[in-house]
């Protein structure tokens, strides 16, 4: 067995120790005589797993009791509809800022339910910038303001939290748990699990409790935050195994020293990769330096004809999933929490060698 370095944007790398523990507990979970996957979600084991996962997640992120933490399904993409359905109430407008492919999808879905005010857009720069705050056209009457703190495809990230007067909603799918954040600045935070939380199939939502009564009457029962909040996320069968694995990831993160400690490692990983790219004269990252993502690093080669060879050789050298998104081209290294620093060092060494041979 050889586990290789996985730079996939999602589903992404998981900590090896988590996978090993899951393997050990797979057939017979702590002498219960069956696998977690085979247990009732009402069993004492699953209830305990879910409670512990929530407690660890709250501790890691510093989430107060003013917020409900929900374990849902449907991915971040389902939240593109759930957000307007839950937050519009009688209001008919919402603010969105367009900073990349995921913002665009969120906007398109919201337009089915309300009038979307595009606060600003960086599409003109091919999403390589964050629009300057003084250009934003915020609407004080908007039901909420939605943004995508980290655009996974473009590798563009907001350097600070955009504070306004209406509840702030964030799609944190690819940035959650990468560093400490001030949850109290937000109305709703949502994230698909398959980047920094755990395996696919789980979606986490953090919602301020005073926003639970704003759902549109037609909001489906299963999409209403209130349904999940009032039923400990067990109104129907939750993704029990994904919750279990997410719980193991949270414990792993606590052992690493929590989000402050993981941020230090993440910054070191990202800094060395960006500074190598910038100084290489062979690779380039198109994003303005202040808006570069901590988690997703797209880069192009001096000559796009070399892309295929780069991918084939990097794979041979034990590095998987470096192909960039088709809308950006080139390569993308996603360096989430579970991608070890050694993987980044190995990648940089490979890139140096490749540039030397082809430069």
Please give the positions annotated as active site.
102, 171, 195
Among 5, 7, 8, 10, binds ligand PLP (CB under 6 A): 10
Site string for ligand PLP, 24-63 (x = CB under 6 A): ----------------------------------------
Among 77, 117, 256, 280, binds ligand PLP (CB under 6 A): 77
Tell me: does residue 174 bind ligand PLP (CB under 6 A): yes
**Among the residue ranges 33-41, 50-58, 70-78, 265-273, the one whose residues contact ligand PLP (CB under 6 A):** 70-78
- State which residue, 83 or 301, has the beta carbon closest to ligand PLP: 83
Q: Whose structure tokens read 């997703």?
A: 296
**Among the residue ranges 69-77, 154-162, 330-338, 348-356, the one whose residues contact ligand PLP (CB under 6 A):** 69-77
Q: Which of residues 82-121 bind ligand PLP (CB under 6 A)?
A: 102
How far CA 235 is from CA of 69, 112, 222, 229, 242, in Å, comes to 14, 26, 8, 9, 17
What is the C-alpha to C-alpha distance for residues 91 and 286, in angstroms, rounded to an integer?
38
- State which residue, 29 or 109, has the beta carbon closest to ligand PLP: 109
Query: What angle (nearest 5°) sits at the alpha carbon of residue 272, between those of residues 268 and 274?
Result: 115
Q: What are the phi and psi torsion angles at 93 (to 5°)?
A: -135, 150
Beta bridge pairs of residue 146: 96, 169
Tell me: does residue 6 bind ligand PLP (CB under 6 A): no
Calculated CA dihedral for residues 337, 342, 346, 351, nearest 10 degrees: 50
Beta carbon of residue 205, minimum distance to ligand PLP (angstroms, whole number):
12
Beta carbon of residue 257, minimum distance to ligand PLP (angstroms, whole number):
25
Tell me: does residue 298 bind ligand PLP (CB under 6 A): no
**Among the residue ranges 11-19, 27-35, 38-46, 72-80, the one whose residues contact ligand PLP (CB under 6 A):** 72-80
Beta carbon of residue 321, minimum distance to ligand PLP (angstroms, whole number):
14
What is the C-alpha to C-alpha distance for residues 65 and 77, in angstroms, rounded to an integer?
26
> How many Cβ atoms are within 10 Å of 232's Cβ, its own excluded?
16
Cis omega (within 30 of 0) for bond into 173: no
Beta carbon of residue 100, minimum distance to ligand PLP (angstroms, whole number):
8
Tell me: does residue 76 bind ligand PLP (CB under 6 A): yes
What is the three-class DSSP state of 64? coil
Contacts of residue 344, Cβ cutoff 8 Å, sequence gap at least 6: 269, 272, 273, 333, 335
Tokens found for residue 125: 């720069």
Tell me: does residue 75 bind ligand PLP (CB under 6 A): yes
How far CA 154 is from CA of 177, 200, 312, 349, in Å, comes to 20, 21, 23, 24
Phi-psi region of 33 (alpha: psi -120 to 50; beta: other; left: phi over 0): left
**Among the residue ranges 88-96, 138-146, 171-179, 284-292, the one whose residues contact ligand PLP (CB under 6 A):** 171-179
Residues of the shown chain interacting with ligand PLP in the complex, contacts defined by CB under 6 A: 10, 75-77, 102, 148, 152, 171, 173-174, 192
């Amino acid at each position: 067995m050889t586990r290789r370095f996985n730079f996939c944007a999602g589903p992404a790398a998981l900590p090896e120790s988590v996978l090993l523990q899951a393997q050990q507990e797979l057939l017979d979970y702590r002498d219960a005589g069956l696998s977690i996957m085979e247990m009732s979600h009402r069993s004492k084991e699953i209830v305990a797993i879910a409670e512990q996962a929530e407690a660890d997640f709250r501790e890691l992120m510093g989430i107060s009791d003013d917020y409900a933490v929900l374990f849902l399904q449907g991915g971040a993409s389902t939240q593109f509809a759930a957000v307007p359905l839950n937050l519009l109430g009688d209001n008919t407008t919402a603010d969105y800022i367009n900073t990349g492919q995921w913002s665009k999808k969120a906007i398109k879905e919201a337009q089915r339910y309300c009038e979307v005010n595009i606060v600003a857009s960086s599409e003109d720069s091919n999403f390589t910038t964050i629009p300057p705050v003084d250009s934003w056209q915020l609407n004080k009457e908007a039901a909420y303001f939605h943004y995508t703190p980290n655009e996974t495809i473009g590798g563009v990230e907001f350097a600070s939290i955009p504070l306004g007067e209406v509840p702030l909603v964030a799609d944190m799918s690819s940035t959650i748990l990468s560093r400490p954040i001030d949850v109290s600045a937000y109305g709703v935070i949502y994230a698909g699990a398959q980047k920094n939380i755990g395996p696919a199939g789980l979606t986490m939502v953090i919602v301020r409790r005073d926003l639970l009564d704003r759902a549109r009457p037609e909001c489906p029962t299963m999409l209403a935050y209130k349904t999940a909040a009032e039923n400990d996320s067990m109104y129907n069968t939750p993704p029990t195994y994904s919750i279990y694995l997410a719980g193991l990831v949270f414990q792993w993160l606590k052992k690493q020293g929590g989000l402050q400690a993981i941020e230090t490692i993440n910054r070191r990983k990202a800094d060395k990769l960006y500074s190598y790219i910038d100084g290489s004269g062979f690779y380039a990252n198109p994003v303005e330096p202040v808006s570069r993502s901590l988690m997703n690093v797209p880069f192009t080669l001096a000559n796009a004809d070399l892309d295929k060879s780069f991918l084939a050789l990097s794979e041979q050298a034990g590095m998987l999933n470096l192909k960039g998104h088709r809308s950006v081209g080139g390569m993308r290294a996603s360096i989430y929490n579970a991608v070890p620093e050694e993987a980044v060092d190995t990648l940089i060494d490979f890139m140096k060698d490749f540039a030397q041979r082809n430069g």
